[in-house]
Chains A and B, each alone.
Chain A
Amino acid sequence: MLKIDNLHVEIEGGEILKGLGLEVGKGEIHAIMGPNGSGKSTLSNVLMGHPRYDVTDGTIEFMGEDVMELEADERARLGMFLAFQYPSEVPGVSVANFLRTAVNSVREKELAPMEMYRLIQEKMKIMQMDPKFAERYLNEGFSGGEKKRNEILQMLMLEPKLAIMDETDSGLDIDALQVVSKGVNELRGPEFSAVIITHYQRILRYIEPDHVHVMLDGRIVTSGGKDLALQLEDKGYDWVRQEFGSAAQS
């Protein structure tokens, strides 16, 4: 599904990712954990094609296709999705209008208005959102929790093949975390893969990962099963630094 090899990325001359490699198979959920500054958000932005980052080396393949030269919208149409840590505000554009435009952009055939309406209602119900929410302007004046729910709502509407979730759990209270996790689990199946990028182990209680990777200084330094996340929770990132810090700098 997703294959990243020897990825080197710079922003404004500073190297953030230093030879990162990762393979995500069809239907797999991967968690990438790491301390602040390890390059987690850079990875998610680069995967989606943010123009600000310079990829200096390495490859990204999605479903066997090299996506390196593709714009974000082209990647979205292939089935990639990024749940943003800090989604932008778009004043004057309602959530409903945005969802309609987005869904019709990734679909080959436009959805009839009534079907679209029903779909929005259905997905909002899963996310436990008030129907009035659809009329609010996109992310404008949203609380942190509302923004995250809205990201997952978009994911449910777009039904991507691969979702990258950039610290979707940060700043969420336990109720919101449960709802957000429920949204992700809704899509879980043999045709859906996800990369959950997080600082904490907490979200992995609700979305059980198949694989856990630990990121440090722009690389994945160790990988394992879901036990690795528990181990990390127990020992903290200092343990990672002691254990793998030298390897990361070599």
Chain B
Amino acid sequence: MPEDKSIQELGLDEYKFGFHDPEDYFFKTPRKGIDPEIVAMISKHKNEPEWMLEYRLKALESFLSKPTPQWGGDLSDLDFEEIYYYIRPMENQGRSWDDVPDDIKNTFEKLGIPQAERESLAGVGAQYESEVVYHSLKEEWEKSGVVFMDMDSGLREHEDLVREYFGTIIPADDNKFSALNSAVWSGGSFVYVPPGVHIDIPLQAYFRINAENMGQFERTLIIADEGSYVHYIEGCTAPTYTTNSLHSAVVELIAKPNARIRYSTIQNWSHNTYNLVTKRAVAEENATVEWVDGNLGSKLTMKYPAVYLTGEGARGEILSVAYAGDGQHQDAGGKVVHAAPNTSSLITSKSISRGTGRSTYRGLLKVHEGAVGAKSRVECDALLLDENARTDTYPYIEIEEKKVNTEHEATVSKVGEDQLFYLMSRGLSEEAAMAMVVNGFIEPIAKELPLEYAIELNRLIQLEMEGSVG
């Protein structure tokens, strides 16, 4: 892609990770679009058990029968017939770095993956196209029975576990995009943490989309058994293309009694990607689930991580930050359902909008009858970087129980002339002053991330903002 290179050399590339490798694929569906034949082809290629094929085909029916949602963002330009639904980049999965092909390695190097590895990051599962190509897991975890692999391997090696839980938190027919994912899913992570096992170092996966018009439909299932703890981190950067890409993931988390799962995501999709993700967790008795969610890039993101608090004393936290620049719409938020007594939840949502960017907070807080003593706090803060930027808040609250304590707070602030003047009077350029205000604004989220991710989040936002001021 010489023209791509020259753009980079000139430093004109708006999207810094917009490099991509020549497309050299092992397997790709013979045509765009989706029908039972394509779905069967994917399943056959993966040598899946019969029940998974049936599951996929049933999901496809559901997908085809559901209308495209009319609420939220504008999906009118999304053409499902213009997408390749499955591409597999290489024959076998790499277990060590040396096994990874060079062009793929180059991509990872540009993203800093090998460094991260050297810095003793624990297990790296990196999704390149539809398959995980690089996966390593520390031996001591394997000894303690921890499973961390791509979902396809999970299905092969732990079929019983997968069959028991797959699609139980997010049924295929939950919504149009969960149905689509269920029909064509590929890759993603499968994690099982045995009772009482604490994984101190976060499990990390890195995702990239690299083929034009290719949807990425990863599927992640994490099961934290009783009293266990795991922190799973997923970061995404996608290169820039001129036609629309679709990313539609499904992530299911199950926290058994007294378990704790923290799931952190920083997503930075190129500006023409539709990012339509369904994430949901169940927290059983005294379990805790935390979603930390950073949304950058994409044309439209619709994502509302959910926690269902089904056991007494369960806790859910959703922390999200979104940046909407010119032409982008970040429609994000969170959903908490209190279905048991003495459950608690906290939703903190922060959004930044600039230019013609639009950020929407869409949240649901539901307290079922009998969830006595439920406590919930929702806080959403929007920061507008200029006059045209737009933010909306849609907090839906349904409370069926009297003995509860809920709070909701929403603020909208603008980066003020006086604030910028103050920082600039100390020698900061307008851009640096703006970045400082923005970094301060997202600090409550950034401090919940491991240091290198917090730095990356700040850096990515600064990249997005570069050249946007003045």
Give the contacts of B433-451 with A (CB-CB under 8 A). 433, 436-437, 439-444
At the interface, yes or no: B121 with Cβ under 8 Å from chain A?
A: no
Assess the A92–B442 pair: CB atoms within 8 A: yes
Assess the A73–B428 pair: CB atoms within 8 A: yes
Count chain B residues whose beta carbon lies closer than 8 angstroms to a beta carbon of A. 24
Closest to B445 in A: A92
Assess the A158–B426 pair: CB atoms within 8 A: yes
Contacts of A87 in B (CB 8 A): 422
Assess the B436–A93 pair: CB atoms within 8 A: yes
Assess the A102–B419 pair: CB atoms within 8 A: no
Contacts of A88 in B (CB 8 A): 416, 418-419, 422-423
At the interface, yes or no: A132 with Cβ under 8 Å from chain B?
A: no
CA of A87 to CA of B436, assembled, Å? 16
CA of A87 to CA of B425, assembled, Å? 11
At the interface, yes or no: B424 with Cβ under 8 Å from chain A?
A: yes
Known: A73-B430, A92-B440, A101-B436. A81 touches B425 (CB 8 A): yes
Known: A102-B428, A105-B428, A105-B432. A90 touches B423 (CB 8 A): yes
Give the contacts of A165-182 with B (CB-CB under 8 A). none
Contacts of A93 in B (CB 8 A): 436-437, 439-440, 443
Known: A51-B417, A92-B444. A105 touches B422 (CB 8 A): no
Q: How far is the CB of A53 from chain B (nearest CB, A)?
A: 11
Closest to B443 in A: A92
Assess the B444–A77 pair: CB atoms within 8 A: no
Closest to B428 in A: A105
Looking at the complex, which one of A71, A81, A98, A158 makes contact with B436 (CB distance below 8 Å)? A98
Assess the B427–A158 pair: CB atoms within 8 A: yes
Contacts of B418 in A (CB 8 A): 88
Known: A51-B417, A71-B430, A73-B430. A90 touches B436 (CB 8 A): yes
CA of A50 to CA of B439, assembled, Å? 23
Residue among A82, A92, A137, A154 with max Cβ neighbours from chain B (10 Å): A92
Contacts of B436 in A (CB 8 A): 90, 93, 98, 101
Closest to B470 in A: A71
Q: How far is the CB of B178 from chain A (nearest CB, A)?
A: 35
Per-position binary interface string of chain A over residues 79-102, scored 1 when its CB falls under 8 Å from any chain B CB and 0 otherwise: 001101001111111000010011
Contacts of B423 in A (CB 8 A): 88, 90, 98
Give the contacts of A100-114 with B (CB-CB under 8 A). 101-102, 105-106
At the interface, yes or no: A235 with Cβ under 8 Å from chain B?
A: no
CA of A45 to CA of B426, assembled, Å? 13
At the interface, yes or no: B97 with Cβ under 8 Å from chain A?
A: no
Q: How far is the CB of A148 from chain B (nearest CB, A)?
A: 14
Per-position binary interface string of chain B over residues 396-427, scored 1 when its CB falls under 8 Å from any chain A CB and 0 otherwise: 00000000000000000000111101111111
At the interface, yes or no: B6 with Cβ under 8 Å from chain A?
A: no
Looking at the complex, which one of A52, A71, A137, A154 makes contact with B426 (CB distance below 8 Å)? A154
Closest to A105 in B: B427
Assess the B440–A91 pair: CB atoms within 8 A: yes
Q: Could you list which residues of chain A lie within 8 angstroms of chain B, going by C-beta atoms?
A: 45, 48-52, 71-73, 75-77, 81-82, 84, 87-93, 98, 101-102, 105-106, 137-138, 154, 158
Q: Could you list which residues of chain B lie within 8 angstroms of chain A, going by C-beta atoms?
A: 416-419, 421-430, 432-433, 436-437, 439-444
Closest 5 CB pairs of A and B: A92-B440, A92-B443, A105-B427, A93-B440, A102-B426
